[in-house]
Structure 1
Amino acid sequence: MATWRRDSRVTALQRLGCAGLAGALSLSLTAPLELLTVLAQVGTWHCRGGLRGAGHNLCRAEGLRALWKGNLTACLRLFPYSALQLAASRRLVILFTDELGHISHWRAIMAGSLAGMVATIVTYPTDVIKTRLIVQNRLEPSYEGILHAFYKIYHQEGLLALYRGVSPAILGAVPFSAGSFFVYINLDKIWREPIVHFTPLQNFINGCVAAGVAQTLSFPFETVKRKMQAQSPWLPHYGAVDVHFTGMADCFRQTVKNKGVLGLWSGLTPSLLKIVPYFGVMFSTFEFCKRVCLYRNGYIESPLNYKLTPGVDQSLQPQELRELKLLRRENFERRKSALEN
């Protein structure tokens, strides 16, 4: 069993800002690997020479900036996605928590998965736009930007086109959650010590391993989702997708028929290579931003470490601490005025 806890010394808005900034920075630094993953999943001509050849072909055809195609969309999507996921997760954790305030590991993972599903569905059109911007030629674009892509897809293909591929995205959450849970329940056996004694480094490694296993298991659904997002009769070469299909099941069938079973895992290598730098940058940036917030709120002496401010009650929430400081200042001013009189 686990107890649901969060640092009450940081406000919800500050927490969201920390998560958004950390996510945007980690996305930007690993954007080339994400782009290669999407191109391999869709099956564009760039990937005929393998991972290194894909990057070389893309840079030669469209320039170095092409490695960051679609990254702005991904970063902008992060803020509403994080807000929705955080709000849904808090509601679901409360729903799954027992009367003693405990929640099982499986229920915690389920709560996180369901919250992610809610956020994914609501923000899904931006994911479609990101895929379209990645697969198009930057020098001869079909879409001139995020808003133009949204407008053009909606008017040419209809509202449902902005949700094309949402079914495999939802179904993929099942093996993803199962993979995460499988790793989590075996962590104490792997490390040969209780979970509560894990160091931050062990928790980081655990997160990377769990993400790797979960991504590998759910990757076929991710591949089909990308192909469905990219395919369009309004785009050159039908969106440069390597197979033609009429729906999710047919996409699975055509991919296996033309590319073999392993074709469902095309792009897995750059996706796995992205895990360590992505989580490393995200966790370190989040921790630094959190220290800045704790420092601004008055709980620690410096944003460079976690040394607590003397005389500050760490159990108080930010608003309570501000009110206490204001009350002390008013009392000090009254005493000062009394002494002067």
Structure 2
Amino acid sequence: MTSVPQRKRPRSYWNTPTSDLPRGSRGVPVLVPSDNQQPQFVALRRLACAGTTAAIAAAATNPVEVIRVRFQLESAATRPPSVYDFALRLARDEGLVRGLMQPGVSAWMASMGVAFRPTARTDHRIPGASGVSTPATAFAAGLSTGALTNSLACPFFNVKALQQSAPSSSSSLAASLALVSRSAGWAGHYRGVSALFVRGGALSAGQLGGYDAAKRAVRANGLAEGAGTHVLCSLLAAGCAAVLSLPPDIVLNRYQGAPAVGAHYSSVGDCASQLVRREGVLSLWRGLGPQYAKLAPIFLMTLPLYEQLRRLAGLGYLR
């Protein structure tokens, strides 16, 4: 009786002996993508990594986002002098869950999911003229994808701003979207899209450009890539993104949250000009601390988590 020859599977991460895998810091195997992996499965794993990262990060950082939005909207004459005192007042008056954890969390998850997935995909960044990826090409990749995806997610960002502007808002994402449709029509879902376009581009450009530059600096100093270096690079990227994104972010929150606080602006430009005229140019960077406090946890959740999920999925670290 002749034996049937066994079909040999293509060599890939999933059937590669651990001893043959490249080693990172502390001798831990580094999972790298293989040429034999099917493109559709690679895309699905990227999608799963990005979606999981966005959902976890949105749920964990929503209280900070609520504090930041409410702090920016409230008049300087009535709010406490420090963000800490303001957060304590919110928790005391409206409750930890209803006041800080619940408002806008579903819209925040949806908007982050839409915006983060394509931006995360730009690990294959726009090549420079020399065909080599640089911090400048990473900046350009973040600027383009961030502007586009944040604009597409404008309905979710709009609902998030409305829910987080009102005290103890408990309406669902679907109910809030329907309310916007009834009150302002289809155009109401894209209220402030121009500011979101600028904010999204600036935020993603600072994220990718800053993260790429930080990773290159870490490698240049001989540090092995791993979770610790990803945390350090995320903190530096958050600083870049906070400075670049804060001015359009303040204008966007003021404009989108105007109906909830009884204010009226004829356009995004009118909102920005009134803000600068009444409160000065430096008002565009008011709340830089809260902005960094908002972005740093998000970046600490998203970038290192995404890197590790990619490693576990056999996709390798971002290059």
TM-score by length of 2: 0.72
Secondary structure in 1 aligned to 2:33? coil
What is the aligned residue count?
277
CA distance in 1, matches of 2:304, 2:204: 25
Secondary structure in 2 aligned to 1:11? helix
CA distance 1:137–1:45, change in 2 (3 Å): farther
1:63-93 CA-partner distances (Å, limit 9, x unpaired): 1112121112211333333444456x48x84
Q: Indicate conservation of the 8 Å contact 1:84/1:118, yes or no.
A: no
CA distance in 2, matches of 1:99, 1:178: 19
The residue that corresponds to 1:282 in the other structure is 302
Match 1:209 to one of 236, 244, 248:
236
CA distance 1:218–1:59, change in 2 (3 Å): same
Q: Percent identity at matched positions? A: 24
Question: Once the 2 structures are TM-superposed, how far is the Cα of residue 110 of structure 1 from its aligned partner?
Answer: 0.8
CA distance in 1, matches of 2:129, 2:76: 56
Alignment of 1:102 onto 2:128: no
The residue that corresponds to 2:181 in the other structure is 154
Q: Indicate conservation of the 8 Å contact 1:44/1:135, yes or no.
A: no
Question: Once the 2 structures are TM-superposed, how far is the Cα of residue 18 of structure 1 from its aligned partner?
Answer: 1.6
The residue that corresponds to 1:118 in the other structure is 148
CA distance 1:248–1:63, change in 2 (3 Å): same
The residue that corresponds to 1:33 in the other structure is 64
CA distance 1:292–1:161, change in 2 (3 Å): same
The residue that corresponds to 2:261 in the other structure is 240
Match 2:100 to one of 48, 63, 67:
67
Match 1:269 to one of 289, 294, 300:
289
The residue that corresponds to 2:258 in the other structure is 231
1:282-337 CA-partner distances (Å, limit 9, x unpaired): 3443355445544xx9x9xxxxxx9xxxxxxxxxxxxxxxxxxxxxxxxxxxxxxx
The residue that corresponds to 2:52 in the other structure is 21
Q: Indicate conservation of the 8 Å contact 1:46/1:53, yes or no.
A: no
Match 1:58 to one of 70, 83, 90:
90
Q: Indicate conservation of the 8 Å contact 2:231/2:304, yes or no.
A: no
CA distance in 2, matches of 1:100, 1:121: 31
CA distance 1:286–1:190, change in 2 (3 Å): closer
CA distance in 2, matches of 1:286, 1:258: 42
CA distance in 1, matches of 2:208, 2:115: 23
Q: Indicate conservation of the 8 Å contact 1:36/1:55, yes or no.
A: yes
CA distance 1:172–1:51, change in 2 (3 Å): same
CA distance in 1, matches of 2:109, 2:167: 21
CA distance 1:102–1:292, change in 2 (3 Å): closer
Runs of 5+ consecutive residues of structure 1 not aligned to the other structure: 1-5, 233-238, 300-305, 307-341
CA distance 1:129–1:174, change in 2 (3 Å): closer
Secondary structure in 2 aligned to 1:163? coil
Secondary structure in 1 aligned to 2:235? helix
CA distance 1:21–1:247, change in 2 (3 Å): same
Runs of 5+ consecutive residues of structure 2 not aligned to the other structure: 1-31
Question: Once the 2 structures are TM-superposed, how far is the Cα of residue 157 of structure 1 from its aligned partner?
Answer: 1.3
TM-score by length of 1: 0.68
CA distance in 1, matches of 2:120, 2:203: 19
